[in-house]
A and B are shown apart, each in its own frame.
Chain A
Amino acid sequence: MKNLNLSPLKKLEIILGGEHQAFATDVLDRAGVKGYTIVNNLSGKGSHGFHEGHLMFNEDDVLIMIIAAVPADLVTAILEGLAPFYNEHSGVVFISDIQVTRLVKFSG
């Protein structure tokens, strides 16, 4: 087995309502993210707490999750771009550290 060249990246898991998919992918496209994966038809439970916007009972809304691996320098920009959205809508973004083997697929 050859030596795997692992490069560190950040993984973003963006969970939001399915109707906003186009918006989120547009943000990622404009940030220059090369590709992403969309997981459909999730369900989950959310907390209320945003101002009067939503009636949240047991949340079995249809959610999607967009998984993207981005270089660390793009993370702040993407989060800044998503912040106004999450001020008004439910959902969450998870950021974790990952490693990938073929860096060229994700950045550059």
Chain B
Amino acid sequence: MSETDSLVSRVNPSIKLFLHLIAMLLLIVAKDPVTTLYLLAIPVLLSLTVARIPLKRFLVRIAPFLVLLATTTWMLAAYGKGTTVVYELGWFRFTEEGLSNGLNIGFRTMAFVSYGLLFTETTDVTKLVLSLMQQCKLPPKIAYAMLAAFRFLPMFKEEYEQVKAAHRVRGVARVPGIRGKVQAVLRYTVPLLAQGIRKAERVAVALEARGFDGSWNRTFYRTVPITWRDGVYLVILAVLHVGVWVLVK
């Protein structure tokens, strides 16, 4: 998660999260592919304009999810309900209803991904957690644990590679087949989890030693306020949704 300097990145993270979840709820209500396609255009448009996510970056991030669009559509088209058969091939039975449903839900999934991308690309994790604590009353105990844990995320990747390398160096034999795969996953996961627990304990001790008790009896150095920008963002989203509604009516 990083932050671009734009209107969307200055919207209060909790409010942004809430608004995006509502937009997703509206997507669930939409039942035909055309409406969903228009609704999908909203987060894409917002990402490229008011959120100022560079087109190239957006495309790079969204490209892998086209696979998801394809598999979802495929699954519903090939195994969906429906009576009007368009084409039959082996056990796949494509129907008109299936295709329409498939496209609808494929687009919906893409829209979910786009809202997620719009959120993660414009939100700083620290700000998000602080805002959840200040506006949504997330207990500090949980909030600070999350903050610490998020910092460790990049390290886990490294550690995973280390565990793998350590096994290879010691010549741990790789067993072929499914059994081997299961063994390998356990072999890599357990050390990773054990290391994680040790790290977590050290962090907890360090915080508690400095007087952190997880109570609400605290002040904040950084506050994440609610500003007029949140209102503007709400209005933009509302206008666009009304626009779509008028368009398909």
Q: Do A and B come from one complex?
A: no
Name B residues whose Cβ lies closer than 8 Å to a Cβ of A. Answer: none
